[in-house]
Structure 1
């Protein structure tokens, strides 16, 4: 409630009467500032004109000040496809710590799901605002006439984050050799499974009948199954493989195909109707991510330490500080170069190239089923300009000068 003119006049009269050292309660005067019901004021603060002027100005400014303090951030819930909050999320931690999200009026809550496909029903039903999914999932849905009402808004990973590995002594030399084999992925709903199916389709291998997909979980369990020969091939994220190699696992990487060379790894998505009604919040989110990425490029060690601060449980256990930092940096560096748009067709954070989309559709052999118009409905570059609307040099300087608080 704003102080009325009559209230200010009453304070002025009190000053003229010169009450000394008497404690007055604003509640007695009918004055309430925001939710603060009682304010004790000593009249000696009003014993000169300067004091009175300052006090009156504070009274008049109080509603705006309190309204600003009381304003809460809008929470955006991110249904993360990854199985855990590992260093790949460092840019998000940076955006939280440096206030990049807050300056846009938002905060972000992250929930790891263990599969990008699991984020679709959460976002589609309104239980989360943000999700991450591979392009293949949307392309396959379009080919089958399915529309979950979501749209990709930010091209986060510019190269495939899923890699094909086998045991060092495996007879499998390339992906063409996997026909008839068992392929392990994080889960059958994971983006990695959809990616693997797209690769196989591009090679003329039927992913439904020519191979068998098995859910193998994350690093230790999936590596154990591969080593025991219970799966012939493992398709796993770069960060999980990097983490396992840091603790002694050995793999042989299968050569990439034309599909991988033409590929971008899907991206962040929202509901179409949410984008229409909450564009400001979506812009704040993608701008925060882009700024966090640039900070991480400039100072990856600081990004890791910030990540540990925001998510203490993500810090590796059972090793020294130096070993934990080395481990986490190796995991982060296995992914972070894929965030860099500088060598892409569209050199902006988050931007999609329609040419790349159509190339993937063609390689998947779905050109007759998924039209150009259908592809346009799967993604948008609407928030790309606002994602890149920040002072790059300022962010880099913040990264160089950052000291953990």
Structure 2
């Protein structure tokens, strides 16, 4: 894939290094000493949510379920959240010390590292490429080449949908700076309005966002993704390097609770959706749970398909968070092509998988049983 014009530095700028304290190494520290009875020491983690929670996806599966079902309590963790406006802003929050961990776009993490921002990826989340291009049925647009002269709606110019749209049209032989126009349209009703009104000719969103819009009555025709997008990673957990040193044990426990939440949501997405309403009541948007639960369960199910293996049953899932060297290579190549970074990164500067062995030490059978036995209160 040829290099094309990079996104403006301002759009990709993460926190300036002068505002940051010096970071330490990433070899980790000894686990927190056990409290009474072998219970892990009390820990506190702040999680930066990368976007407004208007529907059930990673915030519900990893945070809400872990909070409601006692997975954080089992890990003796107090977990708080802050809201940010996209992956770049979420990484800024982690880099500045406002948060300990975030789930952000892998390309944004790679871009931050190249700029010298002291953050590292510590665990995967979305493992199947979620982005896809959609047009109106009967529009006559059948391929990327047909998008020449068209307007493409993206969530924002700082979101993962913008580099995806640029890479998509570039792969089709177009100049993403001259041949198409990217317009920020958000997600949900805002994106649907821009699409249905003709303000944009196409949308570049993730599959879960399309499911939400389709359930409101809008129809789409999806353009095929080129092979270049296969094997690219998307949403990934990231932390600041010195936080990794200082809170290695707490971060391991946080990931453990989050992956337990993922397993629970895989087994019983309706239960996870109802839990999401309790923790994030804004998802309901003034409606009752019974009015929304059927559609929202489908929405969460669509997201779970991007975040879990394509085959096998949830009970058999293992190695939560793992990202292979090949997947990182493909992700880096895509990120270079998308203009987010200029060269292949040194993986040791980007990726610290050392927390995952500990994060995967939980009783999967007990989580599965809990999910199957869930009864709304």
TM-score by length of 2: 0.79
1:337 matched to 2:308? The reply is: no
1:292 matched to 2:258? The reply is: no
CA contact (8 A) 1:135 1:267 kept: yes
Matches within 5 A, 1:207-356: 207-315=176-284, 317-318=286-287, 321-341=289-309, 348-356=319-327
CA distance in 1, matches of 2:324, 2:187: 31
Taking a change above 3 Å as real, the CA distance of residues 180 and 136 of structure 1, as seen in their structure-2 partners, is: farther
Q: Deviations over 1:242-275 (max 9, x none)?
A: 1121111111111122132222214111111111
Q: Offset at 1:140?
A: 4.4
Which residue in the other structure is 1:53 paired with? Answer: none
SS of 2:71's partner is coil
Which residue in the other structure is 1:193 paired with? Answer: 162
Which residue in the other structure is 1:100 paired with? Answer: 71
CA RMSD for the aligned pairs? 2.9
- Please, which of 345, 362, 365 is the counterpart of residue 390 of structure 1? 362
SS of 1:224's partner is helix
CA contact (8 A) 1:94 1:303 kept: yes
Taking a change above 3 Å as real, the CA distance of residues 273 and 337 of structure 1, as seen in their structure-2 partners, is: same
CA distance in 2, matches of 1:236, 1:147: 29
SS of 2:346's partner is helix
Which residue in the other structure is 1:13 paired with? Answer: none
CA distance in 1, matches of 2:68, 2:81: 14
Which residue in the other structure is 2:16 paired with? Answer: none
Q: Deviations over 1:194-235 (max 9, x none)?
A: 333344455554434443221112221222212222212111
Taking a change above 3 Å as real, the CA distance of residues 171 and 157 of structure 1, as seen in their structure-2 partners, is: same
Taking a change above 3 Å as real, the CA distance of residues 109 and 298 of structure 1, as seen in their structure-2 partners, is: same
CA contact (8 A) 2:109 2:238 kept: no
1:402 matched to 2:374? The reply is: yes
| Structure 1 unpaired stretches of 5+ | 1-66
CA distance in 1, matches of 2:322, 2:96: 26
CA distance in 1, matches of 2:330, 2:115: 21
- Please, which of 320, 326, 330 is the counterpart of residue 359 of structure 1? 330
Q: Offset at 1:370?
A: 2.3
Which runs of 4 or more aligned residues in structure 1 lie more than 6 Å from their structure 2 counterparts after TM superposition? none
CA distance in 2, matches of 1:114, 1:355: 30
Which residue in the other structure is 2:18 paired with? Answer: none
Taking a change above 3 Å as real, the CA distance of residues 106 and 353 of structure 1, as seen in their structure-2 partners, is: same
| Structure 2 unpaired stretches of 5+ | 1-35
TM-score by length of 1: 0.74
CA distance in 2, matches of 1:375, 1:179: 36
Q: Deviations over 1:57-81 (max 9, x none)?
A: xxxxxxxxxx99xx99543222222
Matches within 5 A, 1:167-182: 167-182=136-151
CA distance in 2, matches of 1:111, 1:253: 34
- Please, which of 70, 90, 93 is the counterpart of residue 60 of structure 2? 90
Residue range with higher mean Cα deviation, 146-155 or 76-85: 76-85
Q: Which has the higher contact order (CA 8 A, sep 6+)?
A: 2
Taking a change above 3 Å as real, the CA distance of residues 249 and 110 of structure 1, as seen in their structure-2 partners, is: farther
